[in-house]
Amino acid sequence: MKTTFRGLLGATALCTVAGIASAETLTIATVNNGDMVRMQGLASEFEAQNPGIELEWVTLEENILRQRVTTDIATNGGQYDVMTIGTYEVPIWGAQDWLLSLNDLPAEWDADDILPAIRGGLTVDGELYAAPFYGESSMVMYREDLMAAAGLEMPEAPTWEFIRDAAAAMTDRDNEVYGICLRGKAGWGENMAFLTAMNNSFGGKWFDEEWNAQFDGEAWSNTLNFYIDMMNESGPPGASNNGFNENLTLFQTGKCGMWIDATVAASFVSNPDDSQVADSVGYALAPDNGLGRRGNWLWAWSLAIPAGTDSPDAAKAFVQWATSKEYTALVAANEGWANVPPGTRTSLYENENYVDVPFAQMTLDSINSADPTNPSVDPVPYTGVQFVAIPEFQGIATAVGQQFSAALAGTTSVEDALANAQALTTNEMEDAGY
């Protein structure tokens, strides 16, 4: 009896050890925005479908996450099996062979369903290096009541000229209402994301085909002068300190007539729990100057698998699940169609349940009007609408952003800011061997 009991105990222990040994743990690094947090909540479904795979989450603020995963992948640290990265990182990391190609994901995942603009930004030499989780562009959000009070009507596709005039007409400084709120805080992902996209619509670019900086050209001068004149005339005080969150606060508390920023903001400003102006927000495409390019950007948070992962198959299974049509249906069933991750698949915008979601069509049109492989009016040697997908860009654009932010604050002139931007960009690019 004793022997049998011992035998049973031993067998149970062995089974337990074998069970532990066969369970694969995936460490997933992700940003802390609403869609990602929702995925974390629904991931138990994936674990239920894949009993051999356990998920561990590392959720972080975007800039800290970027620093951490970049350190890890550049040193082949192997801490993560799945990383959430943006359209800036994918072309650079893909070209370095730091990521696993996702071309071999099964046919039912339906790669052809991914929006062409998004897919183009995640592909290097024909290899898809990341699966888009959600995509976003930028657009005009405006107060319909203030626009009507100014006797104006917002066209679906406004020009910069209209935006400037409407902003002036809506401004009522005595009541702390400012016609236009735009990013002014220095940073490659702050004011430079907006200004680079705006410059595209003014016919400008960062570099010509020989990688020469273009800040001494007419387009950048027109862009920066227009932006600063408009902000001085109709923007809020202290705009050079304002980023996404500051402008969101201003807009939600009724202090902005118009705000041009990420399409993801639409879900915040239209939410009556958070926004005092939720019932009077309208949307329009980002402005243009009639040159064939709009001032909107393109970004996709995507899931990628570092080449150094120990669990490539499990990681692919997770990426496939999280970016599939089935996942979209799962979110819709649990949290409603308004909460499904937007901007990645054509089929979502053909879905009759999604058509009624406000700002859905505007998001799609905005994404479709941006082309990361051909962002400007003239041909350019780089990929990226509001960025240039080279490793040096973060540092250069943040330094240029400081110059432009200072020009907005009035501590330097537009001419000096452009001259300094030209000099520092040229130096950095020469040092980098361009």
Binding site for another protein (CB under 8 A): 27, 29, 31-34, 37, 40, 56-64, 67-68, 71-72, 74-80, 189, 243-245, 248-249, 252-253, 262, 264-265, 268, 273-276
Contact 91, 389 (CB under 8 A): yes
Q: Return all residues near 74 (Cβ < 8 A) that are at least 6 apart.
A: 98
Cβ closest to another protein, residue 38 vs residue 325: 38
Cβ closest to another protein, residue 75 vs residue 353: 75
**What is the Cα–Cα distance from 52 to 21, expressed in whole angstroms?**
10
Query: Minimal CA–CA distance to 338: which of 279, 403, 402, 270?
Result: 270
Cβ closest to another protein, residue 220 vs residue 297: 297
Query: To the nearest whole angstrom, how small is the minimum distance from the Cβ of residue 150 to another protein?
Result: 23
Cβ closest to another protein, residue 81 vs residue 365: 81
Cβ closest to another protein, residue 297 vs residue 382: 297
As given in the structure block, the two tokens for residue 108 are: 């039912």
Query: To the nearest whole angstrom, how small is the minimum distance from the Cβ of residue 158 to another protein?
Result: 24
**What is the Cα–Cα distance from 397 to 429, expressed in whole angstroms?**
12
**What is the Cα–Cα distance from 181 to 236, expressed in whole angstroms?**
7
**What is the Cα–Cα distance from 417 to 333, expressed in whole angstroms?**
51
41-73 b/e (C-beta count within 10 Å ≥ 16 → b)? ebbeebeeebeebebeeeebeeeebbebbbebb
Cβ closest to another protein, residue 47 vs residue 113: 47
Query: To the nearest whole angstrom, how small is the minimum distance from the Cβ of residue 85 to another protein?
Result: 15
Torsion angle of the four alpha carbons 397, 399, 404, 410, in this order, in degrees rounded to the nearest 10: 170
Query: To the nearest whole angstrom, how small is the minimum distance from the Cβ of residue 54 to another protein?
Result: 11
**What is the Cα–Cα distance from 197 to 88, expressed in whole angstroms?**
14
**What is the Cα–Cα distance from 3 to 80, expressed in whole angstroms?**
45
Cβ closest to another protein, residue 252 vs residue 420: 252
Query: To the nearest whole angstrom, how small is the minimum distance from the Cβ of residue 171 to another protein?
Result: 18
Cβ closest to another protein, residue 30 vs residue 223: 30
**What is the Cα–Cα distance from 100 to 121, expressed in whole angstroms?**
16
Query: To the nearest whole angstrom, how small is the minimum distance from the Cβ of residue 386 to another protein?
Result: 14
**What is the Cα–Cα distance from 130 to 94, expressed in whole angstroms?**
9
Torsion angle of the four alpha carbons 77, 83, 84, 90, in this order, in degrees rounded to the nearest 10: 80
Query: To the nearest whole angstrom, how small is the minimum distance from the Cβ of residue 279 to another protein?
Result: 14
Cβ closest to another protein, residue 60 vs residue 169: 60
Q: Which residues pair with 152 in a beta bridge?
A: none
Chain position carrying tokens 């920023």: 261
